Amino acid sequence: MKKYIFTPLFFMVFIFIIQSCSLQKQDESMKVISIKKVVNKNIPGYEICSSFTLREIDVVKYFTLAEQVDGHEFHSEAIILPCKYQGSINVNGSFLQWEVNAGGAGYLYNNKKINKKYLCKVDCCKSFPSLC
Amino acid sequence: MTKVKDGKIVDESVDIKTYTSIEHGDINKITSIVLHRTDSSNAASTLQAYADGKKSGAHFLIDKTGNIYQTADMRKICWHIGILLPRCQVEKNCNPKELKTITALIHEKGFSFGRRARNLSRHETGKKYPLRYPSNSDSIGIEVVGKFWPSKKSFDKPTPQQLESLKWLVEIIEKEYKLNIKTDVYAHGAIARKEVSEGAQILQYLFSGVVP
């Protein structure tokens, strides 16, 4: 009887440890170096920005869960609101700039060729409902 | 002699490549033109997206070489606007009641930021042009190929060939639908929840003949 109780318990603990290690690994591959909130007061509706908050841990989570999309999809789907967070980030040893807009659109880029665009979709929306 | 027949421009400089996937119902009256940038480096990727069945797109596409593609019938609605900005709020001429409605919609509790912007946009589309900015149902969209660079907050500088083609195309549409180039042509970034710089350079060129 004891065996039947402990087997599922063992697997649950095992899965928890594996997941924790996996999250730990994501954190290690992406490190936010700086974060700053930017509000464009020339755009109507900027007042909503006061309730938009993003922490460093959220930035890592966003770029882990958001979907990288091509220019066409970004151009047609992205909603750009007057508030965003931006800063610099180390991704797998590369120093990049990042932006996450309150409308759910994101950028990872540098001054050279890297120009990646992201949209907050299914998995991202579950973690950040306010961005969707 | 260039002419417009059955919603299409008949001229050797326009390559007709229409895609039914981006055509959605009939336009009753064309009131305006909206200038877009593709956020791509070439026309091929945009044409491929249309061929793959993407539903959003514009009526025309101008490649870096200046080649003009007509990608949708001008009698058809294309989804090219997205989320509209409230015109009276941008231009600071809302009446107090309307301003109250707009403020209530954008601050409505229980919705995401994007949802509130969508709800406000839906409210705007209920108004008649020109009380609101152009919507999908009454405007022609022109895409000009050019990538957006977040590091500069701007798009690729349009080529001289693109600008020349754009000017020619806008003049044809303006004449056909009796539009006013000074009041009925808009940059996408100025009327919708998009990057502010979208379409600004090319609109300025149309107005002044100079690219900023």
Residue B83 C-alpha, separation from nearest chain A C-alpha, in angstroms: 7
CB contact under 8 A, B149 and A109: yes
Q: Give the C-alpha separation, A96 to A111, whole Å.
A: 9
B26 in Cβ contact with B92 (< 8 Å): no
CB contact under 8 A, B147 and A71: yes
Mean pLDDT of A63-75: 95
B162 within a domain of the structure (yes/no)? yes
CB contact under 8 A, A75 and B37: yes
Q: Give the C-alpha separation, B70 to A73, whole Å.
A: 20
What is the per-residue pLDDT for B2? 87
Mean pLDDT of A108-116: 91
User: Same domain, yes or no, for B193 and B102?
Assistant: no
CATH number of the domain residue B152 falls in: 3.40.80.10
Q: Coil, strand, or helix at residue B154?
A: strand
Chain A: residue nearest B107 by CA?
A48
How far is C-alpha B23 from the chain's CA centre?
15
User: Same domain, yes or no, for B91 and B178?
Assistant: no
Pairing of strands B3-5, B8-10: antiparallel
A88 in Cβ contact with A107 (< 8 Å): no
Residue A30 has pLDDT above 90, yes or no: yes
Q: Give the C-alpha separation, A41 to A7, whole Å.
A: 58
User: Same domain, yes or no, for B59 and B103?
Assistant: no
What is the per-residue pLDDT for A6? 56
Mean pLDDT of A50-64: 95
Length of chain A, in residues: 132
What is the per-residue pLDDT for A126? 95
CB contact under 8 A, B82 and A44: no
Q: Give the C-alpha separation, B133 to B125, whole Å.
A: 8
B171 within a domain of the structure (yes/no)? yes
User: Same domain, yes or no, for B141 and B200?
Assistant: yes
Report the greatest alpha carbon distance in chain A.
69
What is the per-residue pLDDT for B106? 92
Tokens of A118: 């992201």
Q: Give the C-alpha separation, A23 to A29, whole Å.
A: 10
Model confidence band, residue A18 (pLDDT cutoffs 50, 70, 90) = very low
Model confidence band, residue A3 (pLDDT cutoffs 50, 70, 90) = low
User: Same domain, yes or no, for B70 and B145?
Assistant: yes
Q: Name which of A80, A86, A76 is nearest A44 in CA terms.
A: A80
Q: Give the C-alpha separation, A80 to B153, whole Å.
A: 13
B3 within a domain of the structure (yes/no)? no
User: Same domain, yes or no, for B179 and B121?
Assistant: no
User: Same domain, yes or no, for B117 and B201?
Assistant: no
ipTM comes to 0.91
Model confidence band, residue A45 (pLDDT cutoffs 50, 70, 90) = confident
Q: Which residue of B193, B195, B196, B198 is the best one to mutate when testing the A interface, meaning the one whose CB has the most A CBs within 10 A?
A: B193
Specify the number of domains making up chain B.
2
Position of tokens 């007057």? A82
B154 within a domain of the structure (yes/no)? yes
Helix pair B113-125, B96-106: axis angle to 10 deg: 150
Q: Give the C-alpha separation, B146 to B157, whole Å.
A: 7
User: Same domain, yes or no, for B169 and B201?
Assistant: yes
Which of A72, A80, A131 has its CB closest to that of B49? A72
CB contact under 8 A, A44 and B149: no
Interface of B with A (CB under 8 A): 36-40, 45-46, 49, 54, 56-57, 79, 82-83, 85-86, 89-90, 102, 106-107, 112-118, 120, 147-151, 193-196
B7 within a domain of the structure (yes/no)? no
CB contact under 8 A, B117 and A45: yes
User: Same domain, yes or no, for B142 and B74?
Assistant: yes
Residue A81 C-alpha, separation from nearest chain B C-alpha, in angstroms: 6
Q: Name which of B61, B63, B81, B62 is nearest B71 in CA terms.
A: B61
% of chain A surpassing 90 pLDDT: 67
Q: Give the C-alpha separation, B161 to A40, whole Å.
A: 34
Residue A9 has pLDDT above 70, yes or no: no
Residue A97 has pLDDT above 60, yes or no: yes
B20 within a domain of the structure (yes/no)? no
Tokens of A46: 């900027």
Residue A113 has pLDDT above 90, yes or no: no
Q: Give the C-alpha separation, B153 to B30, whole Å.
A: 31
Please report which residue ranges of chain A form alpha helices under DSSP H: 2-29, 56-65, 71-77, 122-127
Point out which residues pair with A116 in neighbouring strands: A108
User: Same domain, yes or no, for B40 and B76?
Assistant: yes
User: Same domain, yes or no, for B166 and B72?
Assistant: yes
Residue A25 has pLDDT above 50, yes or no: no
How far is C-alpha B95 from the chain's CA centre?
27
What is the per-residue pLDDT for A47? 87
Chain B: residue nearest A102 by CA?
B113
Domain boundary among B64, B95, B125: B125
B4 within a domain of the structure (yes/no)? no
What is the per-residue pLDDT for A22? 46
Residue range(s) defining the domain that contains residue B159: 31-81+137-208
Tokens of B205: 């060129």
B14 within a domain of the structure (yes/no)? no
Phi, psi torsion values for B82, nearest 5 degrees: 80, -140
Domain boundary among B65, B100, B125: B125
For chain A, the average pLDDT equals 85
User: Same domain, yes or no, for B63 and B148?
Assistant: yes
Q: Name which of B21, B160, B205, B14 is nearest A76 in CA terms.
A: B21
The pLDDT profile of chain B, 212 residues, written as one tens digit per residue, is 889 999 999 999 999 999 999 999 999 999 999 999 999 999 999 999 999 999 999 999 999 999 999 999 999 999 999 999 999 999 999 999 999 999 999 999 899 999 999 999 999 999 999 999 999 999 999 999 999 999 999 999 999 999 999 999 999 999 999 999 999 999 999 999 999 999 999 999 999 988 76
